[in-house]
Amino acid sequence: MLVDLMLFVLVLVVSAVVFIPLHAITVRANRGRNLLSAVNVAIIASAIIGGAAVWLVCGGLFSAPGAKAVACVGGGIAFLGFGGTYNLIGPASVDRSISVHLVGLVNQQAERRMASTDLFRYYPLADVLEKRFAECAEVGVFERQGADIVLTPRGRLIARVYAGIGKLLGLHPWYLDRYLAR
Give residue 53's pLDDT band: very low, low, confident or very high (50, 70, 90).
very high
pLDDT, one tens digit per residue, over 165-177 is: 888 888 777 666 7
Examine the pLDDT at 180 and tell me if it is beyond 70. no
Give residue 69's pLDDT band: very low, low, confident or very high (50, 70, 90).
very high
HSE, CB side, 13 Å, CA atoms: give it for residue 46.
29
- pLDDT score for 172: 72
Give residue 33's pLDDT band: very low, low, confident or very high (50, 70, 90).
confident
Distance CA 72, CA 48 (A): 9
pLDDT, one tens digit per residue, over 97-137 is: 777 888 888 898 889 888 888 888 887 778 878 888 888 88
Q: Where are the beta strands (DSSP E) in the chain?
A: 142-145, 148-151
- pLDDT score for 19: 96
CA dihedral 123, 125, 126, 130 (to 10 degrees): 90
Distance CA 57, CA 59 (A): 6
Secondary structure letter of residue 170 according to DSSP: T
Contact 32, 4 (CB under 8 A): no
Task: Average the pLDDT over 49-58 and give the result.
Answer: 97
pLDDT, one tens digit per residue, over 4-31 is: 999 999 999 999 999 999 988 988 888 7
CA dihedral 166, 172, 176, 177 (to 10 degrees): 160
DSSP line for 29-66: HTTTTTHHHHHHHHHHHHHHHHHHHHHHHHGGGSSSHH
Residue burial 6-40, b: 16+ Cβ < 10 Å; e: rest: ebbebbbebbbebbeebbeebbeeeeeebbeebbb
Give residue 79's pLDDT band: very low, low, confident or very high (50, 70, 90).
very high
Give residue 179's pLDDT band: very low, low, confident or very high (50, 70, 90).
low
Share of the chain above pLDDT 70, in %: 95
Share of the chain above pLDDT 90, in %: 45
Contact 63, 3 (CB under 8 A): yes
Instruction: State the pTM of this model.
Output: 0.69
